Amino acid sequence: MNTYFQFKQFIIHQDKCAQKVSETACIQGAWTTIPPKAIRVLDIGSGTGLLSLMIAQRYPAIIVDAIEIEQSTYEQLNENIQASIFSNRIKAIHQNILTFHPTEKYDFIIANPPFFENQLSSPYEQKNQAWHSTHLSLEELAKSMNSLLQDEGAFSILLPFNRKESFDKLASNYEYSPIQTLLMRHSENHPIKFMIGLYSKNKIAESIINLNIKQGESYSDEMTLLMKPFYLKL
């Protein structure tokens, strides 16, 4: 496992973080569309700072608050941010999202939450916080995002595809519905494994987009186009 990832405009060190840089998170950072009028963005459970840095690269007018609960991960998050050319627009915050009460609400939230619920936990507390939803359930996350967003705000979330239906129901409790969804699979011969959803209170029909990451042994044309601004070898 690499202790760092070099992207075209920033570097991510990850030796202090339980949740490492993943291909799906990179896709979320590259694909998520933020509304034109949005200025204040919150990255919940920022980890290495990957999503905050990708959003800052794509949207030069946006400022990002990156919140992380785990101490050593927060320290590395802050180091990655401070070492980047986007440090003047990203602020690392060491706090639990459940007790976070900012003075202003946000225009947009991006989140890559814990994937596993009611499954065998790791004996390592840091990894449990990164990968399991015992510390932050999807219900708590949905409630927090609703309280932290402006009424016209929107959010992006990355989840296993098999959790989409249950999360859609949770989001609807706060009048959010999916307006655009990216369905990811390794290739056309594989089942859909992950989804990225954009949710808002705008009552518009959901747009579904499919992404095959690989075509044969190489990235698909769609994946190459999406990741070219970030990956060194594209």
- Position 123 scores a pLDDT of 41
pLDDT confidence of residue 135: 65
Phi/psi zone of residue 175: left (φ > 0), alpha (ψ -120 to 50 degrees), beta? left
Q: What are phi and psi of 131, to 5 degrees?
A: -110, -15
Q: By three-state DSSP, how is residue 147 classified?
A: helix
Provide the residue count of the chain. Answer: 234
φ/ψ of residue 135, rounded to 5:
-90, -30
3-state secondary structure of 15: coil
pLDDT at 109: 98
**Pair 196, 225: CB distance under 8 Å:** no
Report, in angstroms and rounded to the nearest whole number, the Rg of the chain calculated over CA atoms: 17
Name beta bridge partners: 13. 4
What is the C-alpha separation between 178 and 168, in angstroms, rounded?
A: 7
Q: Residue 115 has what pLDDT?
A: 58
pTM assigned to the model: 0.91
* CA atoms of 179 and 87, how far apart (whole Å): 31
Q: Per residue of the chain (234 residues), what is the pLDDT tens digit?
A: 678 999 999 999 999 887 789 999 999 999 999 999 999 999 999 999 999 999 999 999 999 999 999 999 999 999 999 999 999 999 999 999 999 999 999 999 999 986 543 333 334 444 444 333 346 789 999 999 999 999 999 999 999 999 999 999 999 999 999 999 999 999 999 999 999 999 999 989 999 999 999 999 999 999 999 999 999 999
118 residue type, one letter = N
- Give the domains, in start order, of the chain with CATH numbers: 4-30+37-227 (3.40.50.150)
